[in-house]
């Protein structure tokens, strides 16, 4: 969008490659202060234009004395803005301002105890002795720059924290953003509120109001199209834009015949009846299934489904007069990845089925969620009145049940998987486990096994149940469900779903496995 409205109070995090960088932003946002992550080499004029109330240097894997070590423009220290350096960020600040950084005799990874030597704002409300923190460094500071004071030490780090109290520059050798530093939230809050003087004004209500103003200002009398899938992200985008521009929003919902049981009817009811949104419903089930006949390779399935979706979506979008914008559910982790410390990745993730459409149709992009993490999207959805069954919905792949059917996708096999999947979800919800896990679903396997039902031998198909716990889907572990819950799921599937005589439970983690089977 051409015009960007920014929150009044904001913190800038400069990323030096730490695996914990996103956690810094999340912790600050959890305290209701807006925060953005940018690469360490963000230009000084861009930093000034961002107008942060405080700047945080993240940690990172480099050493400041290495050739081509990542550094910031020295002018950043002349902006008059408080700075907090974390781990590598502290070492960089020390190095650039005239202190000495050396390789430590002993690397320090894991829990450590520090002692606070100088009471100051950054350590306000923290007991000074035996403060438990999480260390992760191989270098240490030997001498602080002129104007700095040693604020804390540990047995292995004589300078575990430092500060220039006049210029409000602080450095900590440990990671306050991780859960293993119990006082870390207090340290970050002290920096944000006591030192930077920010106010806790970042809420989902204020965000919604800001985006609504921004969308109205940019869209004006034009129209917006949105691919609605019924998932959390596209649902929140649709309702938020509807509140901003009403009937100028046109949602297109394509039923590809690969949805869960009752899903198409539920989406139509919620968005047409509850929210009165312009909804174009296209039942293309037969077309998708015809294209998938005889296809067993998972990658070919994905490409066929994605290309056909674009074909149908483009055809329907062209029927909408005045359509100038395409709305997408890009989230902040995708934006961060695209401008990461290591350089831009392939692309910012687009909707699973509309990649390439903006260019082909000469549409401008609207990405109203691009500043939000997933948990913030869910919070915004609740603020907008979206039903909990959508807000809490587990991730569902764009190609739908097609990649949970190993082998050829047929109407018969889809019917079997739909019924089994519905039972899994019903039992997960009834037991209270649905909200405790990241994802739960069934997979129809391309094998048959011998069984006995009543007095007859059977030779029927197998369902694998997959339930995983995760934070961001980058890694995942299988859920240790109670045996009685697994027994109920298995008994119901075998008794109620014709064609199934065996249920197995997937106990593989990611890595080495993936969450989905295809």
Looking at the annotation, which residues are catalytic? 87, 175, 177
Beta bridge partners of residue 84, listed in sequence order: 56, 170
Q: Tell the residue number behind the tokens 């575990």, with chain if given.
A: 160
- H/E/C letters for each residue in 243-308? HHHHHHEEEEEEECCCCCCCHHHHHHHHHHHHCCCEEEEEECHHHHHHHCCCCCCHHHHHHHHHHH
Q: If 0-12 CB within 10 Å is exposed, 13-18 middle and 19+ buried, where does residue 296 land?
A: middle
**b/e string for 126-165 if b means 16 or more Cβ within 10 A?**
eeeeebebbbbbebbbeebbeebebbbbbebbebbbbbbb
Token pair for 320: 């909408």
CA 152, CA 89: separation in Å to the nearest integer? 16
Helix or strand or coil: residue 211?
helix
CB 123 within 8 A of CB 92: no
CB 335 within 8 A of CB 374: no
Q: Tell the residue number behind the tokens 């990658």, with chain if given.
A: 299
DSSP codes of every residue in 376-435: HHHHHHHHTT--HHHHTPPP--TTGGGGGBSS---HHHHHHHHHHHHHHHHHHHHHT-GG
Sheet holding 249-255, edge to edge: 278-283, 249-255, 223-227, 323-327, 364-366
CB 212 within 8 A of CB 244: yes
Helix or strand or coil: residue 157?
coil
CA-based angle 61:198:3, to the nearest 5?
A: 85
CA 45, CA 51: separation in Å to the nearest integer? 10
């Amino acid at each position: 969008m051409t015009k960007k409205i920014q929150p009044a109070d904001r913190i800038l995090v400069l990323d030096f490659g730490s695996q914990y960088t996103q956690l810094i932003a999340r912790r600050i946002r959890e305290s209701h202060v807006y925060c953005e992550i940018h690469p360490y080499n963000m230009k000084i004029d861009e930093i000034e234009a961002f107008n942060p109330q405080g700047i945080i240097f993240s940690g990172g894997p480099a050493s400041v004395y290495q050739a081509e070590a990542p550094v910031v423009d020295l002018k950043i220290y002349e902006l008059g803005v408080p700075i907090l350096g974390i781990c590598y960020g502290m070492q960089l600040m020390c190095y650039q301002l005239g202190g000495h950084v050396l390789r430590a005799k002993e690397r320090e990874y894991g829990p450590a105890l520090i002692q606070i030597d100088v009471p100051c704002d950054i350590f306000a409300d923290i007991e000074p002795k035996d403060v438990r923190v999480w260390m992760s460094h191989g270098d240490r500071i030997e001498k602080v720059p002129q104007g700095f004071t040693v604020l804390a030490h540990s047995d292995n780090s004589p300078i575990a924290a430092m500060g220039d109290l006049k210029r409000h520059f602080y450095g900590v050798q440990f990671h306050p953003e991780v859960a293993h530093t119990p006082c870390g939230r207090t340290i970050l809050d002290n920096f944000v509120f006591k030192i930077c003087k920010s106010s806790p004004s970042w809420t989902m209500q204020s965000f919604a109001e800001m985006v609504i103003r921004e969308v109205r200002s940019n869209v004006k009398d034009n129209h917006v199209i949105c691919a609605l899938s019924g998932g959390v992200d596209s649902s929140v985008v649709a309702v938020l834009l509807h509140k901003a521009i009403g009937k100028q929003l046109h949602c297109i919902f394509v039923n590809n015949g690969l949805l869960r049981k009752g899903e198409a009817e539920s989406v139509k009811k919620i968005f047409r009846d509850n929210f009165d949104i312009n909804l174009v419903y296209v039942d293309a089930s037969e077309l998708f299934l015809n294209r998938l006949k005889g296809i067993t390779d998972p990658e070919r399935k994905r490409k066929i489904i994605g290309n056909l979706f674009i074909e149908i979506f483009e055809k329907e979008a062209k029927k909408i007069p005045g359509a100038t914008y395409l709305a997408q559910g890009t989230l902040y982790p995708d934006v961060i990845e695209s401008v990461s410390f290591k350089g831009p990745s392939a692309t910012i993730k687009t909707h699973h089925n509309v990649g390439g459409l903006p260019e082909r149709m000469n549409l401008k992009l609207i990405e109203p969620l691009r500043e939000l993490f997933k948990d913030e999207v869910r919070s915004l959805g609740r603020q907008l009145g979206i039903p909990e069954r959508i807000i809490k919905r587990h991730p569902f792949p764009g190609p739908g049940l097609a990649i949970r059917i190993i082998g050829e996708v047929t109407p018969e096999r889809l019917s079997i998987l739909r019924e089994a999947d519905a039972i899994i979800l019903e039992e997960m919800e009834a037991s209270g486990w649905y909200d405790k896990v990241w994802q739960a679903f069934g997979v129809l396997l391309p094998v048959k096994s011998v069984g006995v039902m009543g007095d007859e031998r059977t030779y029927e198909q197998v369902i694998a149940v997959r339930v995983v716990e995760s934070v961001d889907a980058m890694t995942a572990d299988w859920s240790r469900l109670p045996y009685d819950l697994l027994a109920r799921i298995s008994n119901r599937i075998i008794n109620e779903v014709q064609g199934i005589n065996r249920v197995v439970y997937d106990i593989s983690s990611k890595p080495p496995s993936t969450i989905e089977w295809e």
